[in-house]
Amino acid sequence: MAGRADDGPGPVLARATVGAVEAVGGFAGGVYLCSATPKLLKLAVLAGLPAQLFEPWWHMIENRPFPVAEAHRTGQAVLLADAEAAMRRFPQLMAGLPYPFGSLYEPLAADGRKFGVLMVLRPPTPGRPVGPSDRRRLREAAARLTRELARLADLGVPVCWEADPLGLQLPQPCRPPPGPAAAPFEWAADEPAPEALTAGWAAEDRLGLSAAAGALAEGRPGRAYVLPVQDGRARPHAVELHGGDGHRVRAGAFPVPPGAAADRLPQAVVGLDRLGRVSYVNRAARELLGPEPAGQVLWEALPWLGGPAHEDHFRAVFMSGDPVEFVARHPYGVWQAVALHADRAGVTLQLTSAEQPVYAPGSVVRPGGGLGSPADRASALYRPVALAIALTEAVTARQVSAVVTEELLPAFGGRQLAIYLLSEQHLHLAWETGFPAGFLDRFDGVGLDARLPGVETLTTGRPIFFESMQQLAAAYPGIPLDADVGARAFLPLIASGRPVGSCILGFDAPRGFSPEERTVLTALAGLIAQALERAQRYDTEAALARGLQAALLPNRLPVLPHVDTVGRYLPGTQGLDVGGDWYDVIETGDGLLALVIGDVQGHGVAAAATMGQLRSAVRAFALSGNAPEQVVGGTNRLLIDLDPGQFASCCYVLLDPATGAAQAVRAGHPQPLLRAPDGRTEVLDLPGGVVLGVDGEAAYPVAELVLGPGSVLALYTDGLVEQPGEDIDHGVDQLRAVLASAGPGPLTETADRLISEAGRAADRPDDIALLLACRTGR
């Protein structure tokens, strides 16, 4: 059933979420969509959970180690049956959500278009993987949603998401009544529900009704739902929905009777729906809590039950369903024992008087600004854990700084970040974001004797906090300021007693720094310092590998009649950025020319060293007059004898420039491309053997081909055609199209054009080698 274009993607997303959650037995679900910011996904819809509790996960960067990001990046489903499976693959997710639950993520992509990810959370199934039927149902739900999003996009409806997520209740399947249902309202499922039914409802309840009606109309006949809602006076109602003829639905709303029995209890009892809204309070709760908070989100109505000390308890009960107990301090100084019990319809909260605990953290005694406060969320224990896990995956100073920007700034509500690294008794700017352009240049290279907070935090080893810019100006008269309003934190970066540099966090408004925040920030600074020190050691090894790589690749290619050759190499940008890709052009005697390209598995000094050995071996076998299959076979046996623990692919072409006749041998390498003088370009279909270094008895068949005058042969490594989440054949076809459109210009321009897009990529996981040969006829 198609959604209306003027509604935007919201109703379509909500309906798809309801259907997917029911299809695989979930208790919550949602959809992440691409945003206007490249590589940033935003949570667009969250059903069955209070959105405020999960604000730290509203934004998801594509390259982060989370299942949503991986599903979007790779185009493959991520299916986590339980917490153990999630911990093995995504420890950073479990650091923030350490509860027993299963989760399924299906990418929303088709025909080269990526829209986002469909997500379902469900009870865990320990020891039992996600079954094929659930996989199929989720895949089908994602395919339907992808088609709907593509249709809306083709109509010009924006399907990028920039707003906060939409929340909605999940309907509960119920048994249809045996006779005609008392359902006075009837309407087409793709139209708005009658205003007489939804008058005064909150937007999330209207959206939930629309999604339930759509899911009901799309499902099998004879189904029925019960949807909990609140009317205009925040009184709980149950809406019964039944499928009608065609795509029509029938519904009736019935008030939920007050709990007279619960009013007799001495304990305070509060009922919450799955969006965290108060749906019921008994008499004792009304006396304890003051003005009735019905209809409000609990943490907004009662801030003393929010804040970092308690939000994990509420996340736990909503996600796991297991009972949770803790103590909280009422603003009047009375301590309360809080018990939480959940099911698919909501959460019951019970409050009883309690003794003051022996130890209570400051965040419990002095509650913060509630769940919406980024500063309060930063004090939660999982923040240092999450940042530590992310830092272990960063190997360059740039990656470390990017992780700090992505993880630390949002956690504390910061807007500016600067990192200075120590070198020869001077601090040099290594990373900045959020500051006015050029403002920090004046501090670049300052000595350790300068009276500046960024220097003194390092020389003293103590963090320095300024709750306003006026405080900063008073402490350091004459210091240039980038703003008149704000706050600053200067953190020493010290690893195992060794000074590494300093870190500056900037905030747009004045703010205090609680003792808990100061402790957390100081601990995080130590983690950052260790990661940066490790990155500096990596830089030393990378420089060695780059030097080795440069020494082993040919300085120049031979200039011969009848043929032009051009080579290009680009290192990767992720991890140790020098790999084992290489190319070579060898004059073998008798006027023949060997064109060689290869790719050693892995990156770093070891891969570069193995590449040098293979290049030397191929050159030696070729200069000895061996046939192409003997050259490749001998190199294979040599690699096995060397036993470096690595394998390599290779393509070897022996060309007669005068006639254009060529013999080609492939060892697990991508197929070459051949462009004819008229521009027609084909992917060759050469037979091949296994990669080098695996089987000493492997055979490598020889293929015959002819390069006519003006023809261009392109040899390349897989880094040029592989993209995460895409089939390599798609990348090869794209490269073929670029070569076909390159025209008859200089071969150097053709080579530059073929690698230009790869060269512009900020994150290139693999290195790239390219070798072009053109028959000139001269």
Question: Which pair of structure tokens corresponds to residue 153?
Answer: 């996009």
Contact 168, 276 (CB under 8 A): no
Q: Please state the length of the chain.
A: 778
Phi, psi (degrees; rounded to nearest 5) at 393: -90, -10
Q: Which residue has the tokens 């895949």?
A: 139
Which residues in 511-605 belong to E strands, given as ranges?
563-570, 579-589, 592-603
Query: Domain 5-168 belongs to what topology?
Result: Beta-Lactamase (3.30.450)
Which residues partner with 681 through β-bridges? 675
Phi, psi (degrees; rounded to nearest 5) at 408: -80, -45
CATH superfamily of the 260-365 domain: PAS domain (3.30.450.20)
The letter for the amino acid at 370 is G
Compute the C-alpha angle 524/525/527, nearest 5°.
65
Contact 501, 493 (CB under 8 A): yes
Contact 201, 195 (CB under 8 A): no
pLDDT at 260: 66
Which residues partner with 706 through β-bridges? 661
- Among left, alpha and beta (phi > 0; psi -120 to 50; other), residue 295 is left
The letter for the amino acid at 325 is E
The rounded distance, in Å, linking the Cα atoms of 289 and 109 is 48
Closest-CA residue to 216 (of 176, 162, 262, 165): 176
Question: Which pair of structure tokens corresponds to residue 243?
Answer: 């499928």
Domain 260-365 and domain 382-544 have a common topology: yes
CA dihedral 61, 67, 68, 70 (to 10 degrees): 70
Neighbour count for residue 401 (Cβ, 10 Å): 24
Question: Which pair of structure tokens corresponds to residue 667?
Answer: 């060892």
The rounded distance, in Å, linking the Cα atoms of 387 and 395 is 14
Given 3-state DSSP classes, what are the helix, strand and coil percentages for the chain, each rounded to the nearest 5?
A: 35, 30, 35
Q: Which residue has the tokens 């950025």?
A: 577
CATH top class, domain 382-544: alpha beta
Contact 599, 659 (CB under 8 A): no
Q: Which helix (H) or strand (E) holds 260?
A: helix 260-263
Listing DSSP states for 700-732 in one string gives ---EEEE--TT-EEEEE-GGGT--TTS-HHHHH
pLDDT at 103: 95
The rounded distance, in Å, linking the Cα atoms of 162 and 703 is 54
Phi, psi (degrees; rounded to nearest 5) at 568: -140, 145
Distance of CA 119 to the CA centre of its chain: 14
Which residues partner with 546 through β-bridges? none
- Torsion sign (Cα): 227, 232, 236, 239: negative
Phi, psi (degrees; rounded to nearest 5) at 321: 80, -5
Question: Which pair of structure tokens corresponds to residue 399?
Answer: 């990656």
The rounded distance, in Å, linking the Cα atoms of 200 and 295 is 12
Phi, psi (degrees; rounded to nearest 5) at 549: -60, -50
- CA dist 66 → 89, 95, 527, 528 (Å): 9, 11, 21, 21
**Sequence-distant (≥ 6) Cβ neighbours of residue 420 within 8 angstroms:** 427, 428, 429, 430, 443, 454, 501, 502, 503, 504
Domain ranges of the chain: 5-168, 172-255, 260-365, 382-544, 553-775
Biggest distance spanned by C-alpha atoms of the chain:
104
pLDDT at 553: 73
Contact 480, 453 (CB under 8 A): no
pLDDT at 491: 93
pLDDT at 47: 95
The rounded distance, in Å, linking the Cα atoms of 173 and 249 is 15
Q: If the chain, 778 residues long, is cut into consecutive pieces of 10 residues, what is the mean pLDDT of each piece?
A: 57 94 94 92 95 89 88 93 83 76 94 94 90 94 95 92 93 68 75 87 90 81 82 83 78 78 83 90 82 79 77 85 84 85 90 71 45 39 65 78 82 87 92 91 93 92 90 92 92 87 92 78 85 80 64 77 90 60 88 92 71 88 93 92 82 94 94 93 93 91 93 93 77 91 86 75 69 85
Q: Is 104 helix (H, G, I), strand (E, B) or coil?
A: strand
Q: Is 77 helix (H, G, I), strand (E, B) or coil?
A: coil
Exposed / middle / buried, residue 221 (Cβ in 10 Å: 0-12, 13-18, 19+):
exposed
Q: Is 100 helix (H, G, I), strand (E, B) or coil?
A: coil
Query: Domain 553-775 belongs to what topology?
Result: Phosphatase 2c; domain 1 (3.60.40)
Q: Is 663 helix (H, G, I), strand (E, B) or coil?
A: strand
pLDDT at 1: 44
